[in-house]
Amino acid sequence: MLDTIILILDSTLRLSTPLLFACLAGLFSERAGVVNIGLEGKILGAAFAAGAAAYVFQSPWIGLLAGIMVSVMLALVHGYASISQRGNQVVSGVAINFLAAGLTVLLGQAWFSQGGRTPALSPQNRFQSITLPFADTLANVPVLGPIYANLISGHNILVYASFAAVPLTWWIVFRTRFGLRLRAVGENPSAADTAGLSVTLLRYRATIICGVLCGFSGVYLSVAQGAGFIKDMSAGKGFIALAALIFAKWKPVNAMFTCLLFGFLDALAIRLQGQEIPGIGEVPVQVFQALPYVLTVVLLAGFIGRAIPPKASGIPYVKERT
Amino acid sequence: MGSVRCFSWGRGNAFETVYFESRHAIDTQVNDLIDQKGRATVAESNVPAIELIGVSKSFGPVQANKDIDLVVGKGSIHGIIGENGAGKSTLMSILYGFYHADSGTIKIDDKTTTIPDSKSAIAQGIGMVHQHFMLVDTFTVLENVILGAEGGALLKDGVANARSELKRLADEYDMTIDPDAVVGDLPVGSQQRVEILKALYRGADILILDEPTGVLTPSEADHLFRILRVLRDQGKTVLLITHKLREIMNVTDMVSVMRRGEMVASRKTAETSMEGLAELMVGRSVLLEVDKPEVEVGKPLLKVEGLNVKDDRGVLRVKDVSFKVRAGEVLGIAGVSGNGQSELLAALSGITRAESGKMELSGEKLDLSKAHDAAEMRTMGMSHVPEDRHRMGLVNKFTEYENSILGYHREPKYSKGMFLSKDAIRKEAKERIEKYDIRPPTPDMTVAKFSGGNQQKIVLAREIECDPDVLLIGQPTRGVDIGAIEYIHNRIMDMRAQGKAVLLVSVELEEIRSLSDRIIVMFDGNVVGERGPEATEQDLGLLMAGVNQEAENDHELPV
């Protein structure tokens, strides 16, 4: 029983990681007032770039760098359209999703001729599991041993990075000058402007951070969890991350728990696939896939408190004219 | 310097003489003498804090500021008064670095300078309290004050310093405030103090306040004026922008008048009068008093009983309100905005459904807890000039003539089957434009391009010309210039003379007092008292703050 639980939770952590990166990415962006529907596209773009670069240069680290670069570039396109040109942020984000979905397959086919995939990566070109100190020696301690050895130890470095990013995000957003200004720009950009701050610059910085974090998410998919890029491999993770962000009410620690919950649902769905549950029968996997969205809609309908977004989220800043 | 002032004055003089023609010429000359004396004393006593010479600014074809000269003495409260659109806000935006002047010179403390952005304005000791507060509602007072001046990359570094500095400033200027309160939870008066503290924390020596009393109760406004006087006595310079003459008379040392983008006069406040200033603002003499003839009061046309209204969050905003309005009577509802007046109007006009409450409209009984709509109320003889004309009264992107029939578009005279009879509508729109003196007289222009006063006239024409028995009218003169205010007030008095019942909701006490036959005051959703139009401002002000001094005599509200 314990083994099964640990197995499901272990897989929960792995499945939560890309969501968590993307959710924190969205948090930075939306806290600064830039709605980011384009998380999905950035994840996909990063996954492709990472898969391709890791294969070509035979290094997961170069893959990571390439993934982040591509994601940041897409973020800057979004920034230029929605911050500098004051375009509609939703339209710009959707455009990035389409761009990434098409371009990754096109370039993948042109460069590697494997039907849009990148070539499979050998284990040393991926981020590999890390065994934490004493994991093997402690494995025999009852209850805690297996939890430490099998659940906490044995993940790749990006999993740990994603969870380390949570307190870091909290600290940046709530304890630094940059965080204060970031939140001000998302709530009332005029207040930041009259205080002598540049709304444009702050929003660009938030968008770039968003790009970096999305990069991590995409790299994780193709170079850590998977072994190369596959067409549409982000599979809606950017959208689930957005749902998680709303569910978490734009707070980092909440975001972690929400991503764990959504990751858990995913893990459960995989575990229960094709299995009979006593008294219920076989539950279609789609039920679990839909649950994050259903839960978010329930939240938005006001059943679990109110989710109030940053006030200026989605609104391009135009200096007042009289 | 001296020559510049002479020049500036000479120009103003010529301008006025042209404007006022001969019958005003003598007055103007007398004022000139006073004015020159006033300036002389300011100039002798100290260096001017701000001096503007020939500042101009235009937006496309619109000249917002034309060759403005202004001298503001250090350590004084200087008022700038003018109608909406006179260019006051543009001028202040130039001083605060929002706009760049097309030409002209700015001197701060006698040194020529440029103000490219807000940051530079702050660095030169200019602080601004905006009409719409520039505060982050979800932040604490402390966070709002330090935003942009945090004193280090980590918040921890600056916060302790800021806390003690904030306390020192608050004590020094008599502004008690909890630094850890969330700004969105504070009453507007306190929010404004946060804005002032924010400017002082940044070391402002010159404080610009843009229409600061629009959202305040009379007692809050008095508190603000006390603070301003303390600031002045401590050597700060205060620039007060307003269109309210009473405030100018009450608190300023000097006053400058703007009209249509030009600075038309500067006077010592003690040596001028409200009438004189009003005349300078408008360019002609204005009736500040409304002519209110005796009208025979008839039977009640609108009766409301036990009205309770919740807002969309489920909070009870109107609590057991009852009143009636008779034919030939104006019932004024006074109160600080946000005390249930908007919800009251929305429920009466059929826009929202009340929790409970009965209404009798021209003899017909209605249960307001059932669903009604605005169209139904209109057919029963009630029309409604909503408080917020942009959100509820007009469709800004539609043309004037389209707006002139909104809500009445189904009437046979405007439509043939499912099509609009555009010619008929345009023809009527033209007649109304003439009758209500709507400018410019162009029915095909989108309403967004009309000025506030003319937009309000468009709504008013639409709602009055359908000949209702009962007129609900909310904030009839918000954002409307003096000339149009006079006109709108007269139309309301015409309705009264024709034996209609008028329910007037306004946050402007003066307006309520001059138009109403009876005044009820709302506070926190309750009617806290009823007074006649002769009630003093202090008395009404106390009621607006929820204090009823005659509470014991007031148990039986006339229903």
User: What is the per-residue pLDDT across B383-424, written as a single tens digit (0 to 9) for each?
Assistant: 999 988 888 889 988 999 999 998 888 888 888 888 888 889
Residue B23 has pLDDT above 60, yes or no: no
Closest to B87 in 3D by CA, of B66, B105, B73: B66
Residue B26 has pLDDT above 60, yes or no: no
- Rounded to a whole number, what is the distance in Å from the CA of B112 to chain A's nearest CA? 21
For residue B153, which residues of chain A lie inside 8 Å, CB to CB? 176-178
Q: CB atoms < 10 A from the CB of B181, how many?
A: 14
**Mutation choice for B interface testing from A177, A193, A194 by most B CBs within 10 A:** A194
Query: Are residues A177 and B153, on separate chains, in Cβ contact within 8 Å?
Result: yes
* Of A176, A188, A194, Cβ closest to residue B128: A194
Radius of gyration for chain B, computed over Cα atoms and rounded to the nearest angstrom: 25
Closest to B318 in 3D by CA, of B360, B290, B346, B283: B346
Note whether A150 and A4 are within 8 A (CB). no
* Residue in B with minimal Cα distance to A180: B147
Could you give the 3-state DSSP secondary structure of residue B198?
helix
For residue B146, which residues of chain A lie inside 8 Å, CB to CB? 180
Query: Rounded mean pLDDT of A138-165?
Result: 87
For residue A320, which residues of chain B lie inside 8 Å, CB to CB? 98
Q: How confident is the model at residue B195 (pLDDT cuts 50, 70, 90)?
A: very high
Q: Which two tokens stand for residue B184?
A: 């969105």
Residues in chain B: 559
For residue B128, which residues of chain A lie inside 8 Å, CB to CB? 194
* Residue in B with minimal Cα distance to A182: B147
pLDDT of residue B306: 94
Listed by number, the residues of chain B in 99-128 with a beta carbon closer than 8 Å to a beta carbon of chain A are: 117-119, 121-122, 128
- Rounded to a whole number, what is the distance in Å from the CA of B339 to chain A's nearest CA? 24
Of the two residues B44 and B520, the one the predictor is more confident about is B520
* Of B128, B138, B155, Cβ closest to residue A187: B138
Query: Are residues B136 and A319, on separate chains, in Cβ contact within 8 Å?
Result: no
pLDDT of residue B552: 44
Q: Which two tokens stand for residue B430?
A: 């033209």
Q: Tell me how far apart the alpha carbons of residues B156 and A150 are, in angstroms, rounded to a whole number.
A: 39
pLDDT of residue B556: 44
Query: Rounded mean pLDDT of A46-50?
Result: 96
At CB < 8 Å, which residues of chain A contact B? 175-181, 183-184, 187-188, 190-197, 311, 319-322
Residue B6 has pLDDT above 70, yes or no: no
Q: Tell me how far apart the alpha carbons of residues A260 and A241 are, in angstroms, rounded to a whole number.
A: 11
pLDDT of residue B56: 93
* Of A181, A194, A196, Cβ closest to residue B130: A194
Query: Rounded mean pLDDT of B444-459?
Result: 86
Could you give the 3-state DSSP secondary structure of residue B87?
coil
Query: Rounded mean pLDDT of A168-193?
Result: 94
Could you give the 3-state DSSP secondary structure of residue B135?
coil
Question: Could you tell me where the beta strands, DSSP code E, fall in B490-537?
Answer: 501-505, 518-523, 526-531
Q: Tell me how far apart the alpha carbons of residues B253 and B269 are, in angstroms, rounded to a whole number.
A: 5
Q: What angle do CA B83, B85, B91 make, to 5 degrees?
A: 100
Q: ipTM for the complex? A: 0.85
Residue A160 has pLDDT above 90, yes or no: yes
- Rounded to a whole number, what is the distance in Å from the CA of A130 to chain B's nearest CA? 34
Closest to B174 in 3D by CA, of B222, B238, B226, B250: B226
DSSP A231-297: TTTTTTHHHHHHHHHHHTTT-HHHHHHHHHHHHHHHHHHHHHTTPEETTTEEPPHHHHHHHHHHHHH
* Of B96, B137, B143, Cβ closest to residue A180: B143
Residue type, B300: P
Q: Where are the alpha helices (DSSP H) in B358-440?
A: 374-379, 400-403, 422-435
Q: Which two tokens stand for residue B517?
A: 């036959």
Q: Is A8 exposed, middle or buried (0-12, 13-18, 19+ CB in 10 A)?
A: middle
Q: Which two tokens stand for residue B272?
A: 């001028």
The model's pTM: 0.72
